[in-house]
């Protein structure tokens, strides 16, 4: 199994290109099931999760062509996928495929909307709490689907097709909003989703659906209205830049010092995180090429942060911020409100010497002057990169084990960091 070796102490200087957003690319790929014409997606990141979803979609009979590089392409530009669901030959998504990635459960929505039936295994994915699918099932039932759970599978039928409805989510759910949005595009009549998630990735999917002929308005607000149409057609869409990758590298620069241009990043996608970084002592400068992040000489100031749905501080940056605060001058408080069981990185950060204590859903981090390198183990996708951030600033050598978690969400991490002066390498086997 691959490991990553890092020798800490180098400042980061240069340019890091930001990849397409994983959390938009996956639902966009799934949306291809809604039409029998070809959907072309540009700037798709090369990630393990994307490859896994290609296998899942292939199982349904989709043809997926990944276009090669073109003259003038930058080496980090994402791939272009041509996805054709002209002939869906199987409406079952089996356990052995879905169990590896939670988002793949969302295929239930377009399969049900277009084929009027689906049989999808209950999901797997990161071990960060229960993240049940009950809200997704509730949304589909509101749209007129008949659902039952049998042998670990959700079996869904809508013989007469789905029908528009009012869907009021009792709590904000990104996955529930994606599923309701996709299913409602082909439902008869109008669907209104209230207490919808406002994440930029939802807006990106809605934009793509509209290019395909859907009638979606209000994406990015808590109230989304979808007027159902009979058929969607093909389209071409570019995946938006990854705000979590942007925030991760911004924190790496704040941690190590230096000056890095995050090329292609969009500040409005993560303003709350950029505000926290400014408070911590980094200099954030949006420009025409993206975002420039620098920290030269000044120490890291402690912060108090509570994770919240967009536009609040993202739960997917909580672990990275905790690594940064391990070297702050004073005590920081980070409260996690989105996922239970999302502090698994605490014991691994402690191996660097970080002083972190937990009080319910709040972590108190007492900053120390210097972390020390150590062998550590990645526990989930976002937590694993917090160990890389800590290692970049730690004295001596760190080995990060179980890096397949990193490969699920960060494209060419070692290459991007080493190009800016980090001593980092992948050790295979």
22 annotated ligand binder:
yes
Tokens of 429: 């086997």
133 annotated ligand binder:
yes
179 annotated ligand binder:
no
123 annotated ligand binder:
no
375 strand-pairing partners: 399
What is the C-alpha separation between 217 and 192, in angstroms, rounded? 10
136 annotated ligand binder:
no
Are 242 and 22 within 8 A, CB to CB? yes
Q: DSSP character for 269? A: G
Q: How many CB atoms lie within 10 A of CB 116?
A: 17
Q: How many CB atoms lie within 10 A of CB 171?
A: 9
Are 334 and 305 within 8 A, CB to CB? yes
What is the C-alpha separation between 427 and 420, in angstroms, rounded? 19
First to last CA, the chain: 5
What is the C-alpha separation between 233 and 214, in angstroms, rounded? 9
338 annotated ligand binder:
yes
329 annotated ligand binder:
no
Burial class (CB in 10 A: 0-12, 13-18, 19+), 407: buried
Can 420 be counted among the known catalytic residues? Answer: no
Q: Which of 126, 198, 327, 420 is catalytic?
A: 126
Q: DSSP character for 228? A: -
What is the C-alpha separation between 212 and 232, in angstroms, rounded? 5
108 annotated ligand binder:
no
Beta strand pairing status for 375-377 and 397-401?
parallel
In order of 84, 106, 215, 285, the CA distances from 314 in angstroms are 33, 22, 29, 20
Residues that are catalytic: 126
Binding residues for UDP-N-acetyl-alpha-D-glucosamine: 102, 131-135, 316, 338
Binding residues: 22-23, 102, 131-135, 316, 338
Binding residues for phosphoenolpyruvate: 22-23
């Amino acid at each position: 199994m691959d490991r990553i070796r890092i020798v800490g102490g180098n400042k980061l200087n240069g340019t890091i290109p930001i990849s397409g957003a994983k959390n938009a690319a996956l639902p966009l790929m799934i949306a291809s099931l809604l039409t029998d014409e070809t959907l072309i997606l540009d700037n798709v990141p090369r990630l393990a999760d994307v490859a896994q979803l290609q296998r899942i979609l292939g199982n349904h009979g989709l043809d997926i062509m990944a276009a090669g590089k073109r003259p003038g392409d930058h080496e980090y530009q994402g791939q272009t996928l041509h996805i054709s669901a002209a002939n869906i030959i199987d409406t079952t998504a089996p356990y052995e495929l879905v169990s590896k990635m939670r988002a793949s459960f969302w295929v239930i929505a377009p399969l049900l909307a277009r084929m009027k039936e689906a049989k999808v295994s209950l999901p797997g994915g990161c071990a960060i709490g229960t993240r049940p699918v009950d809200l997704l099932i509730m949304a589909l039932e509101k749209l007129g689907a008949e659902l039952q759970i049998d042998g670990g599978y959700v079996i869904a039928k809508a013989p007469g097709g789905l029908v528009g409805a009012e869907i009021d989510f009792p709590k904000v759910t990104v996955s529930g909003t994606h599923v309701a949005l996709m299913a409602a595009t082909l439902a008869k009549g109008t669907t209104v989703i209230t207490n919808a998630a406002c994440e930029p990735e939802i807006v990106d999917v809605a934009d793509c659906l509209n290019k395909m002929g859907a009638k979606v308005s209000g994406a990015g607000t808590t109230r989304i209205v979808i007027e159902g149409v009979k058929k969607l057609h093909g389209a071409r869409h570019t995946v938006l830049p990854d705000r979590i990758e942007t925030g991760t590298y911004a924190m790496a620069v704040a941690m190590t010092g230096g000056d890095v241009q995050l090329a292609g990043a969009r500040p409005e996608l993560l303003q709350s995180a950029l505000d926290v970084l400014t408070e911590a002592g980094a200099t954030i400068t949006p420009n025409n090429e993206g975002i420039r992040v620098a920290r030269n000489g000044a120490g890291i100031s402690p912060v108090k942060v509570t994770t919240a749905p967009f536009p609040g501080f993202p739960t997917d940056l909580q672990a990275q911020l905790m690594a940064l605060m391990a070297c702050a001058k004073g005590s920081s408080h980070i409260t996690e409100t989105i996922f239970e069981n999302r502090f698994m990185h605490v014991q691994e950060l402690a191996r660097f010497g970080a002083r972190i204590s937990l009080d319910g859903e709040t972590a108190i981090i007492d900053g120390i002057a210097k972390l020390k390198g150590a062998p550590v183990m990645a526990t989930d996708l976002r937590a694993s990169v917090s160990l890389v951030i800590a290692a970049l600033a730690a004295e001596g050598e760190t080995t990060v084990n179980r890096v397949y978690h990193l490969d699920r969400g960060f494209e060419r991490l070692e290459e991007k960091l080493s190009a800016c002066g980090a001593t980092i390498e992948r050790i295979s086997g």
